[in-house]
Amino acid sequence: MAFVSPNITTYAVEATEFPDLARKYQVTGVPKTVVNDQVEILGALPQDAYIEQALSVLSPAASEPEHETKR
Amino acid sequence: MSLISPADQDKLREAFNEMTSRVRLLFFTQTLGCETCLQTRQILDELPPLSDKIAIEEVNLVLEGEKAKQYGVDRVPAIAVVGEDGAGAPGVIDRGAGAPGVIKDSRIRFLGTPAGYEFISLIQAVLLVGGRKPSLTDANRQRLAAVNTPLTLQVFTTPT
């Protein structure tokens, strides 16, 4: 994802080596993704759903008609 | 003694053979108080002998704090995957800062020892920056390319 957009940065964080970060973001299971310190994505999702959730941080509520992810 | 079995070395060598551009792994470390830095360095040192397109550059978090900051790294061990050379991989966007056309930051970072599954992820990142086609669908690639505000993803994992 970072590779295709100059505005995106990704960090793969080894949770056991950085317990402070794991605590800060309340990581109780992996994989867990935290986007801009706001949105959390739990588990490994299919590509479309993952990107949908990651980008949801940019469009607060509203504009999300069809791609609603079922949980 | 190598940390990677001869069979896996062959597989990696073959995969790296497909690389069309050079990749530099910036390894952020510090001399004291980093239990896993040595192990990380040992893992990284396994890669350049398998491909002349891969290089490791060590960056000391304490002595080269400015550089670490530039790459958004504030703890160690950490790895930044950057593309090298001007005739670079298609799709890589030059960040503008720094030497133009020489270093192309992929903005892909690894915090912690790249062992277990993280090692696979690191290899995937190297191949991607080295020229392999991204696994993203065209539609998703367009969506992401349109992102015009900073987006930071932290993906937490554990060694497996």
- Supply the CATH classification number for the domain B6-88+98-145: 3.40.30.10
**Contact in structure between B22 and B83 (CB atoms under 8 Å):** yes
Selection from B67, B73, B27, B74 nearest residue B47 by Cα: B27
| Gyration radius of chain B's alpha carbons | 16
Report the distance separating Cα B151 and Cα A54, nearest Å.
Answer: 9
B72 touches chain A (CB under 8 A): yes
Nearest to A31 among B72, B110, B155 (CB): B155
> What interhelical angle do A47-55 and B138-145 show, nearest 10?
10
**Residue A60 pLDDT greater than 70, yes or no:** no
Q: pLDDT over 70 for what percent of chain B? A: 88
Average pLDDT over all residues of chain B? 89
CB contacts, 8 Å: B75 with chain A: 18
Q: How far is CA B132 from CA A1, B8, B121, B138, in A?
A: 14, 20, 14, 15
Please give the model's pTM, rounded to 2 decimal places. 0.88
Report the distance separating Cα A38 and Cα B64, nearest Å.
Answer: 31
**Contact in structure between B156 and A22 (CB atoms under 8 Å):** yes
ipTM above 0.90, yes or no: no
Q: How far is CA B124 from CA A34, A36, A59, B120, B129, in A?
A: 21, 24, 30, 6, 9
Alpha helices in A1-71 (DSSP H): 19-24, 47-55
Residue of B nearest to A20 (CA): B75
The C-alpha of B92 sits at a distance from chain A's nearest C-alpha, in angstroms, of 6
Q: What is the pLDDT of residue B50?
A: 97
- Chain A interface, Cβ < 8 Å to B: 1-18, 21-22, 25, 27, 30-37, 47-48, 51, 54-55, 57-58
Q: Are A9 and B159 within 8 A, CB to CB?
A: no
The letter for the amino acid at A63 is S
B92 touches chain A (CB under 8 A): yes
Name the residue ranges covered by the structural domains of chain B: 6-88+98-145
Nearest to A11 among B111, B147, B159 (CB): B111
Question: What pLDDT, in 10s, does the model give residues B107-120?
Answer: 999 999 999 889 99
